[in-house]
Structure 1
Amino acid sequence: MKLLLVEDEEELSAIISKGLRKSGYAIDHAYDGEEALYLYTVNEYDLIILDLNLPKLDGLEVLNTIRSKDNFVKVLILSARSDVEDRVTGLDLGANDYLIKPFDYKELEARIRMLLRMSFTQKSTVLACGELKLDTVSKTASYQKSLLSLTKKEFAILEYLFLHQDTVISSEQLIEHVWDSEADLFSNALKYHIHSLKKKINESGCQVEYIKNIRGQGYILTEDNHGAAE
């Protein structure tokens, strides 16, 4: 999943980013409000972590601008503004959650996981497609009782497919949501990771083709074995 972190304190931004990347998230950075709006305009994000005390453009203005055109992207305010009125204003302007600094990193990550699940019908932290399962908290995947030894990138791809189960996802959409925007992605990287992911699922004893390549369209995670695939 791809997140935009809007935080002008570079040291704090680096700490948060390091932790989230270790958990498998793709992270873009913005250090002021104008840069945040620019990155939001040119990229797709699953969630925006937004500070309020920003140079050039205040975080509430950034939020108001985003919400004037987009009611779907998740926004988590992360701010030292602790007054009730600030929290009420942020939530009324369309923030999905509000976390006050200083904060515990584990709570931040838990809130991120919660927000990323909010728009999906499956609310459990453990997602399932037949006997293939993915735990969004422990960041593990398994088939029946066999734990899959996945890289962070393979897990991120599988997680995105799980969250859009039974929907065809284009290669472009997967790349947009799984890799950082500045990543130097060579043309066969996604195919390589998909191939490795499918191989590991098969090696666990799975006889079902859960991840299908739909010719000319992309990839789909489904328990249904019917349908055209490469």
Structure 2
Amino acid sequence: MRILLVEDDERLAETLAEALTDQRYVVDIATDGESGWYRVKALEYDLILLDVMLPELDGISLCHRLRSHGHTLPILMLTACDTISDEVTGLDVGADDYVVKPVDLQKLFARIRALLRRGSITGLPILEWGDLRLNPSTYEVHYGESPVHLTPKEYGLLELLLRNGRRVLSRSVMIERVWSLESPPEEHTVKVHIRGLRQKLKAAGASEDTIETVHSMGYRLSLPHCATGID
């Protein structure tokens, strides 16, 4: 899941981004409303965390612009003022919910999970590939009855692979979808994370070739009981 955080307080933005990353979200940061607008036009986000008071274009105006241009993704407003008028104004222009600063992280996480569930007709279905299961609602991964404990990046890569099945994903695509725009790694880093992911899946009982390398192209999930080469 990819979140756009539009917040001009750099310290707060970094703190929130780090906390959300620990919750397995990919987070991009924009420090003003206009930058946030261009980010939404360039990339597909699952949710926007939007401060009300922003330079260039304030949060209320950005929310109104997004809705007037047909963007339906959930918008969670951040406001420093706990007043009825602020809540009503945000909701009137299309915001789905709001959180008051200083931000209670557990409350923020709960609101985000609720909005992501509400934003999908089917909710967040469990992703399955043979005996491999990933629950996006709880961030739990199992192979058969065995839990698989993954780092945030390993989890993000596995979720991406499960959502694409036999579609080949290049390393550059994986970087674009799993890492934030502010900290893209070298492509070799993807190889390292894939290796670690394979080792953990194998330790849980999965086949060594569950994640298949397609030479010079990228990675995909292998067909059950299909022997393939790995890198």
TM-score by length of 1: 0.76
Q: Distance in 1 between matches of 2:221 and 2:89?
A: 39
CA offset digits 1:12-36 (Å, max 9, x no partner): 2232122112223232222221222
Superposition pairs of residues 1-230 of structure 1, within 5 angstroms: 1-117=1-117, 118-119=119-120, 121-123=122-124, 127-136=127-136, 139-162=139-162, 164=163, 168=167, 170-171=169-170, 172-207=172-207, 211=211, 225=224
Aligned residue type for 1:158: L
> Alpha-carbon deviation of 1:143?
0.9
CA offset digits 1:22-79 (Å, max 9, x no partner): 2232322222212222333344333211011112211011112223334243321122
* Percent identity of paired positions between Structure 1 and Structure 2: 38
Q: Which moved more, 1:7-16 or 1:86-95?
A: 86-95
Q: Distance in 1 between matches of 2:211 and 2:19?
A: 29
TM-score by length of 2: 0.76
Backbone CA RMSD of aligned residues: 3.4
Determine if contact 2:175/2:184 at 8 Å carries over to the other structure: no
> Alpha-carbon deviation of 1:179?
0.4
Q: Distance in 2 between matches of 1:214 and 1:121?
A: 32
Determine if contact 2:67/2:94 at 8 Å carries over to the other structure: yes
Evaluate the alpha carbon distance shift between residue 91 and residue 160 of structure 1 in structure 2; reply closer, same or farther with a 3 A threshold.
farther
Secondary structure, in 3 states, of the residue corresponding to 1:91?
helix
Q: Which runs of 5+ in 1 are unaligned?
A: none
Aligned residue type for 1:61: S
Determine if contact 2:168/2:214 at 8 Å carries over to the other structure: no
- The higher-RCO structure (CA 8 Å, 6+ apart) is 1
Determine if contact 2:198/2:208 at 8 Å carries over to the other structure: no
Determine if contact 1:6/1:36 at 8 Å carries over to the other structure: yes
Aligned residue type for 2:120: S
Evaluate the alpha carbon distance shift between residue 127 and residue 170 of structure 1 in structure 2; reply closer, same or farther with a 3 A threshold.
closer
CA offset digits 1:109-151 (Å, max 9, x no partner): 1222333343262446x65444322344653322122222322
> Alpha-carbon deviation of 1:213?
6.0
Aligned residue type for 2:5: L
Q: Distance in 2 between matches of 1:198 and 1:120?
A: 32
Determine if contact 1:43/1:176 at 8 Å carries over to the other structure: no
Determine if contact 2:175/2:187 at 8 Å carries over to the other structure: no
Evaluate the alpha carbon distance shift between residue 43 and residue 169 of structure 1 in structure 2; reply closer, same or farther with a 3 A threshold.
farther
Determine if contact 1:4/1:45 at 8 Å carries over to the other structure: yes
